[in-house]
Amino acid sequence: MRKIDSFSYACGAMDCFNEIVNAGVKKLALGHPTADRALRDEYIAVAEEICQKYGTKYYVEDASLLTDLFPLSLNQDKYNLVFYKEDAVLQAYLSLKERKARLVEQKAYCGEERRAIAVEFGRLLSYTEEAIARLIDANGEKEGL
């Protein structure tokens, strides 16, 4: 069986995610996070081609939204591409990042507010309510603030 290199695999995943964003199955999709900014930047040319193919868009993410939805190490200090079709979806994502930053600054990123950020992020990713709850509850690697 042919071995698939990691760059090609990530590009294939970008294609799949953009197909389902275009189809309306997902509102927002994340590429593969990488600690290597230069590698993420190499994906941009491929992302441009894929987005043109599907009528989608991408956002270059240098500071991923960290929530209790995913283990901290998955996205902390990582670079990524965020895929979407509607500008309002990107704005909702960026607004969620801003809301979290304000809560952290006010030392209010805890309890229900903290969970709400993770839940809203899951909804932007078009996860079911059950999947969101399961991911949050199973996450043993949460951000300590």
Percent over 90 (pLDDT), the chain? 94
Among 33-37, 53-57, 94-98, 141-145, the least confident range: 141-145
Which tokens hold the place of 38?
């230069």
Strand partners, 68: none
Which tokens hold the place of 103?
């809560």
Residue 126: pLDDT above 90? Answer: yes
Which tokens hold the place of 41?
């930047």
pLDDT value at position 16?
97
Distances (CA, A) of 4 to 7, 10, 12, 25, 112: 8, 10, 10, 27, 42
Radius of gyration (Cα) for the chain, nearest Å?
A: 15
pLDDT value at position 144?
84
Considering the entire predicted model, what is its pTM? Answer: 0.93
| Average pLDDT rounded to a whole number, residues 101-116 | 96
Residue 2: pLDDT above 90? Answer: no
**CA 136 remoteness from chain centre:** 15
Please, are residues 77 and 33 in contact by the beta-carbon 8 Å criterion?
A: no
| Average pLDDT rounded to a whole number, residues 89-117 | 97
Please, are residues 132 and 123 in contact by the beta-carbon 8 Å criterion?
A: yes
57-86 confidence digits (pLDDT tens): 999 999 999 999 999 999 999 999 999 999
Residue 145: pLDDT above 80? Answer: no
Please, are residues 83 and 14 in contact by the beta-carbon 8 Å criterion?
A: yes
Q: What span, in angstroms and rounded, lies between the C-alpha atoms of 7 and 31? A: 12
